[in-house]
Amino acid sequence: MRVLITGAGGQLGHDLQVVLRDEEVVARDHRALDISNEAAVLAVVKETRPQWIINAAAFNDVDGAESAEDEAFAINARGPANLADAAAAVNAGLVHISTDYVFDGTKGRAYTEDDRPNPLSVYGRSKYQGERSVLESTASACVLRTAWLYGTHGKNFVKAILERAKEGRPLEVVADQVGSPTSTQDLAEAINRLIRTPARGLFHVANAGACSRFEFAKAIVRGAVEVRPITSAQAARRAPRPAYSALTSVRWEAAGLSPLRPWQAALDDFLDGS
């Protein structure tokens, strides 16, 4: 199977290349392919003629997007639309990665695919427009919403907490944001299973369960340092975050796909290096 991975330099893109190592993988990071460039996207897709395109490219700086709206929308909204058009042109399947930040967090329990998005931030709005462009296109496409990604490659919350813990001082972490921590390794393996099925459409794909950022940090440090709860207001981040954006699925298992394991098990494997 020939698979084109965009955003191949990121943490998910890195793990996708490992998981799909037995396939014919064409990997393009943001330097090799700017997905906001329609002509460049079409040229690469027509040249490589993949059976699947997996889009792991994104403008992921949630706070930075508040002052870089044009760039965020170019990559997160126009980019997926370009990939969908190119996929349709060569009859390729498309997997596009979206986010829990399309929700406002007011539901108070886990969101399913049937819940209505209401993004709070520029990042969330740009990602929502991107997923709509893909789902409304003529491409044979899947949109996967996931959350709180971490892996061995690149920057993420788990690695940041581990680095801060090395200083030995107490950590202050927000306790009023709840979500679904998800291993990029587990997500990559789920995508590998997905592209071997006829399933299409919108899916929530995250490690099972939910926790606050504070609870997540405590699980990460394993008692090595004290973790103190603070509020989002005290953290004073530029972009608003949903208070409760945990994800669950009513479509993944119905499509014959196995749910991801609990977040605690995935985190333990990551921390233990297995």
123 tagged catalytic? yes
The active-site residue, picked from 123, 128, 150, 244, is 123
Concatenating the DSSP letter of every residue in the chain gives -EEEEESTTSHHHHHHHHHTTTSEEEEE-TTT--TT-HHHHHHHHHHH--SEEEE------TTGGGG-HHHHHIIIIIHHHHHHHHHHHTT-EEEEEEEGGGS-S-SSS-B-TTSPP---SHHHHHHHHHHHHHHTSSSEEEEEEE-SEE-SSS--HHHHHHHHHTT-S-EEEESS-EE--EEHHHHHHHHHHHTTS---EEEE---BS-EEHHHHHHHHHTTSS-EEEE-HHHHT-SS---SB--B--SSTGGGT-PPPPBHHHHHHHHHHT-
Residues acting as catalytic residues: 123
